[in-house]
Amino acid sequence: MREWIDWYDSDHSIYVNARHRDVHFRRVATDILEFVPHPNAIVLDYSCGEALHADVIAARVEKLVLAEPAAGVRARLKARYAGNPKIEVRSIDELEALPKSSVDLAVMHSVTQYMTPAELAAALDLMRSLLKPRGQLVLGDIVAPDTIAAVDAAALLRFGLANGFFIAASTGLVRTLFSDYWRLRSTIGLTRYDARALETLLAVHGFSAERATRNIGHNQARATYRCKVR
């Protein structure tokens, strides 16, 4: 995962323009709200990225912990939400200091594809220790083994068409072919799971799982799973 973290901490162009970046994070934040169990919930967003609209979630919960491994991104999060008493920004390593069984909802959205199975297993053990007995883990953007890059590209174009950045999305896809993102995706690849493999892994680490009716975010070719502590 280290190479992906370094790439996300660089001046990358995964978001084709400011409009794409804004609507992407607003959509993710709005979708996460559907999983919040109650207004007094403690929510953890693991490897949250820029989380431009984390305040949307924070307004509906007691506390939101944003955990981000990329140092540069984490510094921007701290600056952005310095005045919001409901939002706490931590590194991934600092999550160990959180009280055990204190989190109502943990979210790992668009993270598993960048982790090795061993890294995911370690993260699941950590989430299991932090979640309350009736807590829930949500895994979003799970990539199936047979998903090709063209499917992701088509999803982005549809998202751009619906949100006013179709032309930028089209040119952005061309740029991506010559970017470090494509080099990493071609060499390291994305980690993919079918339903049975993922459910088996989750069971080993203390979770039962069911697929949600829709994926968090714009790409409905990918999947979101609700995972309950067993």
pLDDT tens for residues 76-86?
A: 999 999 999 99
- Write down the residue that tokens 């403690």 correspond to: 42
Q: Which residues of the chain have pLDDT under 70?
A: 1, 7-8, 178-183, 186
What distances in angstroms separate CA 28 from CA 25, 68, 99, 200, one per listed residue?
Answer: 5, 16, 26, 26
Structure tokens at 120: 């995911």
Buried/exposed 152-170: b ≥16 CB within 10 Å, e otherwise? bbebbbebbeebebeebbe
What integer pLDDT is reported at residue 23 of this predicted model?
Answer: 97
pLDDT tens readout for residues 16-66: 899 999 999 999 999 999 999 999 999 999 999 999 999 999 999 999 999
Residue 180 confidence (pLDDT)? 67
Distance CA 188, CA 128 (A): 28
- Of the candidates 227, 143, 146, which has an alpha carbon nearest to the alpha carbon of residue 193? 143
Residue 107 lies in a domain: yes
Q: Is residue 162 domain-resident?
A: no
- Determine, yes or no, domain membership for 174: no
User: How many domains are there within the chain?
Assistant: 1
* Residue 165 counted as domain residue: no
Q: Please give the C-alpha separations between residue 180 and each of 6, 21, 60, 139, in angstroms, as whole numbers.
A: 11, 19, 37, 26
Coil, strand, or helix at residue 228? Answer: strand
In a domain, 160, yes or no: no
The pTM score is 0.92
Domain limits for position 202:
2-145+190-229
* CATH number of the domain encompassing residue 109: 3.40.50.150
**Are residues 14 and 172 in contact, defined by beta-carbon separation less than 8 angstroms?**
no
Tell whether 224 is covered by a domain. Answer: yes
For residue 129, is it within any domain? yes
For residue 25, being part of any structural domain is answered with: yes
- Greatest extent of the chain over all pairs of C-alpha atoms, in Å: 47
